[in-house]
């Protein structure tokens, strides 16, 4: 049996995530049986975020990991939640707008294959489920490597 050689385009994937944004968190709960919460806590622990540092949450979706990172870096650090789905980013923004104290998160609409950041900008990064949805995994990893400090 042959694999299907037709892969979805980046715009097809973005359109899908814009459509499912209202139920994205529920889908994560159902599909992982709630385990995504544990995985996200583990990812943040392994990232070992430090106060005052700058971190990237790539393909941030509704912003769970970005919020967890922000709680670790405090007011002196900063988190960039990056996603190419405007609908996901709108949900992420809405989830933190009334947090007190405010979380140091900037929400950025951008493609993981062409990040709008300088080389060696971030102290660390997380990427929850995004890698499975990018159209060019090697390019995505090169971009991630480029923006991380050595």
What is the domain partition of the chain in residue ranges? 10-147
- Where b means 16+ CB within 10 Å and e means fewer, 45-73 reads eebebeeebbbbbbbbbbbbbbbbbbebb
146: part of which helix (H) or strand (E)? Answer: helix 137-147
Euclidean distance between CA atoms 84 and 61, whole angstroms: 9
Q: pLDDT at residue 83 above 80?
A: yes
Q: How far is CA 4 from CA 25, 92, 103, in A?
A: 29, 34, 43
Percent of the chain whose predicted confidence (pLDDT) is above 70:
97
Contacts of 26 (CB under 8 A, 6+ apart): none
Using the structure block, give the residue that is written with the tokens 């995530």: 17
Model confidence at 25, pLDDT cuts 50, 70, 90, reads: confident
Instruction: Look up the CATH superfamily of 10-147.
Output: Vaccinia Virus protein VP39 (3.40.50.150)
Lowest-pLDDT choice from 42-46, 116-120, 144-148: 42-46
Structural tokens at position 103: 């979380």
DSSP 133: G
pTM: 0.87
């Amino acid at each position: 049996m042959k694999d299907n050689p037709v892969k979805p385009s980046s715009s097809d994937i973005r359109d899908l995530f814009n459509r499912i944004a209202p139920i994205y968190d529920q889908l994560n709960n159902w599909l992982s049986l709630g385990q995504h919460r544990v995985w996200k806590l583990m990812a943040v622990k392994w990232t070992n975020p430090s106060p005052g540092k700058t971190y990237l949450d790539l393909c941030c979706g509704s912003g769970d990991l970005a919020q967890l990172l922000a709680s670790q870096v405090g007011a002196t650090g900063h988190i960039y939640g990056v996603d190419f789905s405007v609908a996901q980013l709108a949900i992420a923004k809405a989830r933190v707008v009334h947090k007190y104290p405010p979380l140091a998160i900037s929400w950025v609409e951008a493609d993981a294959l062409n990040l709008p950041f300088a080389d060696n900008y971030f102290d660390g990064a997380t990427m929850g489920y995004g890698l499975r949805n990018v159209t060019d995994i090697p390019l995505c990893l090169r971009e991630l490597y480029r923006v991380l400090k050595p």
